[in-house]
Amino acid sequence: DAKTTQPNSMESNEEEPVHLPCNHSTISGTDYIHWYRQLPSQGPEYVIHGLTSNVNNRMASLAIAEDRKSSTLILHRATLRDAAVYYCILRRPYTGANSKLTFGKGITLSVRP
């Protein structure tokens, strides 16, 4: 899977929107952009994924740049429970039988009350 680059950490205030950036300049045309997060003392949790168009679900929105070299995960109203490490990863639609996830260091999001 191609490499992604994320800042190490970000801070936000509770009930404000949060924009978490991810750069993936070597993305290929078939790579999907996936976001997972890991809350303290829990397993990783799927958040959202997309290919070209912006995507929304109950947890977040994913904004994908027109050239697909970057994307932004948007939490519309941060809560204390959103404090976690957020991972942006790229996944090919099919590269064989193994569906292994490879996480980088991710962004550590802190939320201030």
Partner 1 sequence: EAQVTQNPRYLITVTGKKLTVTCSQNMNHEYMSWYRQDPGLGLRQIYYSMNVEVTDKGDVPEGYKVSRKEKRNFPLILESPSPNQTSLYFCASSQGYNQPQHFGDGTRLSIL
Tell me the C-alpha distance between 24 and 27, whole Å: 6
CB 109 within 8 A of CB 16: no
By C-beta, is 96 or 113 nearer to partner 1? Answer: 96
Q: C-beta of 60: minimal distance to partner 1 in Å?
A: 13
Give me the amino acid identity at 15: E
Q: C-beta of 77: minimal distance to partner 1 in Å?
A: 23
Q: C-beta of 5: minimal distance to partner 1 in Å?
A: 15
Residues that bind partner 1 (CB under 8 A): 32, 34, 41-46, 49, 91-94, 97-105
By C-beta, is 15 or 39 nearer to partner 1? Answer: 39
By C-beta, is 75 or 90 nearer to partner 1? Answer: 90
CB 62 within 8 A of CB 50: yes
Positive or negative CA dihedral for 104, 101, 39, 24? positive
